[in-house]
Amino acid sequence: ASCRRSGGRFRPRPHTSRHARIVADSNLALVLRVDRDAGPKVGGVRGIAPEASASDRRRSKKTNTMGVLSLLLKHPGDLVPLLKVKRMADKAKKLPKEPNLAFCYDMLNKVSRSFAIVIQQLPHELQDAVCIFYLVLRALDTVEDDMSIPDEVKCPELEVFHERIYDKKYVYPCGEKHYKVLMDEYPKVTAVFLSLKKEYRDVIADITKRMGEGMSNFIRREVVTLKDWNEYCHYVAGLVGIGLSNLWASSMLEDKRFADMEDLSNSMGLFLQKTNIIRDYLEDIVEEPAPRMFWPKCVWSKYAKTLDAFQYPENRTKAVHCANHLITNALEHADASLEYMSSLKNVDVFRFCAIPQVMAIATLAECYENGKVFEGVVKIRRGLSARIMLECLDIYDVARMFKTYARAIDAKIAKDDPNANKTRKQLNNVHAKCDDILASDTQGFGKKFDPVMPFVLRLLVLLMTLLYAAYAFRIGGVREAVGIAAPGTGVAVVDKAEMAFSVIAVGAASVFFATGHFF
């Protein structure tokens, strides 16, 4: 939302290419989202500005390619998951034959490729409803996000937008790039919306109404207290979780009681939205024409006089302490998130919900005690995102992953952090909840989520097996060099056994080197 300045002077920044971001995207398309149309921002946020020259684009493409290759050299185990996810992305680009539905899914791919992938996790019964739910909220956010619309015009429009979605002729020129196309061609979205089951239409309209009213409310006021922060996150993300739960219940693919689980559904959204707000500090604070401020003043004012002060290196220690404070607050929702996911029965719905939640706690682990949050947007690497997408198979996998990232945060807690004890307390709660879930795994379902072994260790194991193979095959006089019988003098059966064993060892070591796991 376009919250106003809360004090302090902001240094002018170079204009950046605007990209509408529906905050509800965090609940639907998660932390995985890729903002490919974003312009370059302070701190090196990825993207090419519209005015970039051809040479600049080539240079950026080369830099991105080198970056990907560098990551794959450090994490070769990411290669296979990345290829699998790319296949999923290619599949998501295949459009339905019906023209209006084709427009909706094409637009979905353009405004959020990540969500276009994630939606494939859902049963066919729910895919169209969730796609339209997403696009309706994208359109609502595009209106809210357009700074050229005066507040006195914008607020009433947000408050009646839930009525507009029934109007077959409704268009509202605003936004940029793909978002402008979405708003100009909105009748196509309306056509598909009106073709949905009444139960789905009612859910989408209700959430749109409540979200529009909340957005309008926060245009007029700031996020000052933690109560404000929770309320803001409820409007822009918690409501999405509530809406999704109602869709699950309406589809009969989950228990009807999900329609009444508003507290847990809300916490799912808050966990994701707070993660995004923490991670996107710099992107929001340098926003043009005015900064966007979502960090609660009651927290950041303990560490600085103005929120924009955190971007300067001389304030980095205080800035990190403030981010850690907010991360500790976000972790309060992890228990409810796990509780919600434990209640899901449909495997496809479970995976749709679980993937963003695991990516959220992985992102918090990356952001905790990390000064780079104030230099650019901190993201988990794509390969890890791909692995999470492929390995979230059941609640036991999720519990193990939550424990892994909770341990990662715990290991980074500094003694001088003013919220160290509170952070440990929240992490202990997460561990306890995960242990309860894992204790119920009497059938041994789920698979162990092991962190990938360090690159140096994998390389060492591979080199040792290659040396052993060189010895076994008598390459380069290895035997002579170590004072063992020369080639041809050994027992043939033993030599053949050593050769066979060395081949197996090199094969296993190669798998270990590539994936970080022996099996």
**Sequence-separated (6 or more) residues with CB below 8 Å from residue 491:** none
**Assigned token pair, 108:** 């979905």
**CA–CA separation, 395 and 84 (whole Å):** 22
Strand, coil or helix: what is 156? helix
Helices and strands, counts by H and E, the chain: 24, 0
Centroid of chain to Cα 425 = 25
Angle at which helix 177-184 crosses helix 124-145, to 10 degrees, equals 110
Residue 394 main-chain phi, psi, to 5 deg: -155, 175
| Active site residues per annotation | 232, 279, 292, 352
Backbone angles phi, psi at 130, to 5 degrees: -70, -35
Tell me how far apart the alpha carbons of residues 188 and 208 are, in angstroms, rounded to a whole number. 18
Q: 3-state DSSP call for residue 302?
A: coil
Q: 431: which 2 tokens?
A: 């561990």
Collect all residues with Cβ–Cβ distance below 8 Å to 55 and sequence separation of at least 6: none
The sign of the CA dihedral 8, 280, 430, 259 is positive
Q: Which phi and psi angles does 45 have, rounded to 5°?
A: -65, 135
Dihedral angle sign, alpha carbons of residues 176, 181, 186, 189: negative
Longest dimension (CA), the chain: 94
Look-up of token digits 């066919």: 124
Count of C-beta atoms within a 10 Å radius of residue 334: 24
Closest CA to 186 of 203, 201, 199, 167: 167
Determine the straight-line distance between the first and last CA of the chain, rounded to whole angstroms: 47
344 phi and psi angles, rounded to 5 deg? -75, 140
- Residue-wise DSSP of 358-419: HHHHHHHHHHTT-GGGGTS-----HHHHHHHHHH--SHHHHHHHHHHHHHHHHHH--TT-TT
